[in-house]
Amino acid sequence: MAQRVVDNLQNDYLICSICLGRYTDPRLLPCGHTFCRQCLSDHIQQTVLSANANQFKCPNDRGDVRKPGPNTPVREWANAFPVDTFISSLLQAVQSHEHGGNAPQEPEPASSSVGTSARRGQTLTRPRPLRPQRQSRRQQQSTGPPPPPPQHESNELTCLEHLRRPLEYFCLGCNILICSHCAVQNHRSPRCECVANEEALGRLSSKIDRLKTRFENQMMYIQDLNRNGMPFDNELENSKSQAFSYLSEVENNVSEFTQQCLQEVENLKRTVRETGQDIPRENQNMSSLLGRLQDSRQGYETIFNAPSGPSFLTNLSRYEKQADEYESEIERAVSGNAIPKIEFITNTGFQNFLRNPPPVACMEVKESSSRARRAPVQIRREGTFNVRNNRGGRTTR
């Protein structure tokens, strides 16, 4: 079975579509296709005819591929593309099996016959991998073997999607065990980086230790809370006291404002009542005019009541002239004394305030961002991996 797996890997994923041989120093293009470094270099130098060219055609899909650097010469373009780490891992595993479990010192050379007319139909396409993560100091210093992979009842992890192929790889981007087919078909996004299970355990050992420490810190924190109680009641009472203090201040201000408004209304009423009281009710000229008018009226009645004679006709025009003079004096006296009138002007802003008073305040009940937590151990959140099983390989027993 192991030999069949090796043959499938080599026939499906380890053959360069240019030389039709096993990959040698595989290089990954941005379009996701992989080629031998020397095959890719020969192709670039044969198709790029200008030293000022900025791109070349991919041998598989004929798409434009930009040169890897602005100042990189054409002969160095192939060397500048990244090594396909996934294909390199497959090559190392196959070579280790061919040499009886011991990896050879140097990779097996592949034939470089560029002039071959036949080309294999199925090619491996994978996106540019993420940069390999820098090993921690603990990993660099560790000399012991990595922890063993998880074991199931069947003593083997297999894939349900691809005819029970072994799940011998782990995607660091998706955090899931996968087989070789899943790595090529389902894990092609830029976030994916597929490595062997042993390498994944070594690279994640520091995160495993930090996750264990995180759980321990959380347990200590909860135990401290159970012993000492929640330290949030005092903060709630303080916030209530501040709210009541503010509301009491608003209540006093509203009371003072009401008293001021009522006092001003009373002052305006008093002004209305007192308006016109200082105007003199009698006028000296009018009194003199009234005396003369009474004398003229009495003389006129004496002549009118006397026996009729020519003397009445003689005095009639004189009394008529006096009446005209009295009317003129009355008009002058009345027009000379101004009569006051009250014109009340309302305050539009104050009227609008009374009709639509603004809210006194707004209250919002929310959690405080500065709770005084009493924790003897500082809780730290470390970046850990979240194991998901949303796509790719699935395990079975």
Strand order of the β-sheet with 176-178 is 176-178, 169-171, 194-196
Between these two residues, 153 and 92, which has the higher pLDDT value?
A: 92
What Cα–Cα distance (Å) separates residue 198 from each residue in 86, 98, 186, 202, 210? 14, 20, 21, 6, 19
Between these two residues, 227 and 25, which has the higher pLDDT value?
A: 25
Distance CA 75, CA 171 (A): 34
pLDDT at 376 over 50: no
Per the DSSP assignment, residues forming a β-bridge with 47 are: none
Across 33-37, 63-67, 167-171, 180-184, least confident range: 180-184
Report the percentage of the chain scoring pLDDT > 70.
69
CATH superfamily of 1-125: Zinc/RING finger domain, C3HC4 (zinc finger) (3.30.40.10)
Distance CA 71, CA 352 (A): 74
Q: Where in the chain is the domain with CATH 3.30.40.10?
A: 1-125
Contact 16, 2 (CB under 8 A): no
pLDDT one-digit tens code per residue, 255-310: 999 999 999 999 999 988 888 777 665 566 777 888 888 888 888 888 777 766 67
Distance CA 240, CA 246 (A): 10
pLDDT at 118 over 60: no
pLDDT at 139 over 50: no
Please give the helix or strand (H or E) that residue 64 lies within, else none: strand 64-66
Between these two residues, 236 and 199, which has the higher pLDDT value?
A: 199
